[in-house]
Copies of this chain bind each other. A is one copy, B any other.
């Protein structure tokens, strides 16, 4: 399995991003709950700043000035994770206790708000209205996607198309907007901008599908999260949707899910059915198709280091599942 290190090899500036994040935490330490371990030890993948910086390399942009923007994007992502963990009652992330679990829901809500605001202060300081606009839209769509997900828990009539619409809103738009923002910091053409955006959009779809697959069969050690947390929370993802389409035990599965709460035996039943119906393989295949589509947009970008890096990041996203 590819590790975090690979992404840092592709985009070495992530070391600077990490340093800036630490400074942000330390500069307000007297106000914040003891969260240093959250950001220091639990360094995330930093996929979003990596994509932003890799895209910004187009036309030989100076990346040094762009580190704060990359930090802003990672802070938006961090804020989202902190709030999502409250919403999902998650107890573990990145192999450590979540903020809500260790510090309580109140602290987690306020800390998420602080990180959102800090992120936008940083983006605003850069002064490019288009980038601020992209990012406020991202947060809007992510929260609408999450609201919809909450409304749709244990909803067995969810279709594949509903699911794809939701993950676009929840994940892919953010990733697309990081790529586009990177490209916007250089002067380029609207055709190239569209290529970056569509690369990111398709990559983001693949990334979320793989995340949803890993929720079922990823080992906690590797994902850093509890297993099967989606289905426990009633969040119906692609492997389940596919299984409900094909399974001969459809009625039994519907009955479990429609009760709105699952016990251990029911989860075991669902996992068995997903396995026998090939729900995970189907999802991985779908993710691979999105990766192929993402890569096809790279043909429109002048080849060179940037394209090589974006190809490598796409491989990194896919490699998480193997």
Interface residues of A, Cβ cutoff 8 Å to B: 28, 31-33, 83, 86-87, 105-107, 109-114, 116-118, 120-121, 124-125, 127, 129, 132-133, 136-137, 139-140, 142-144, 146-148, 150-151
Q: A127-B129, A132-B132 are in contact. Are A147 and B33 (CB under 8 A)?
A: yes
Q: Judging by beta carbons under 8 Å apart, are A28 and B121 in contact?
A: no
The count of identical subunits is 2
Pairwise interchain contact A87-B116, C-beta atoms closer than 8 A:
no
Instruction: Kindly state the separation between the CA atoms of A234 and B87 in the bound complex, as whole angstroms.
Output: 25
CB-contact partner of A117 in B31, B111, B129, B140, under 8 A: B140
Residue of B nearest to A125 (CB): B133
Interface contact B150-A106, CB-CB below 8 Å:
yes
Partner of A113, one of B32, B83, B124, B125: B83
Residues of B within 8 A of A121 (CB): 133, 136-137, 140
Partner of A139, one of B106, B117, B143, B150: B117
What is the CA–CA distance of A291 and B320 in the complex, to the nearest angstrom?
60
Most buried by B among A113, A120, A140, A146: A113
Q: Enumerate chain B residues within 8 angstroms of A144, measured Cβ to Cβ.
A: 28, 31, 114
> Which B-chain residue is minimally distant from A32 (CB atoms)?
B147
Most buried by B among A86, A110, A114: A110
Contacts A/B (CB < 8 Å), 8 sampled: A31-B148, A87-B110, A110-B143, A110-B147, A117-B142, A120-B132, A121-B133, A124-B136
- Chain B residue nearest in CB terms to A103: B150
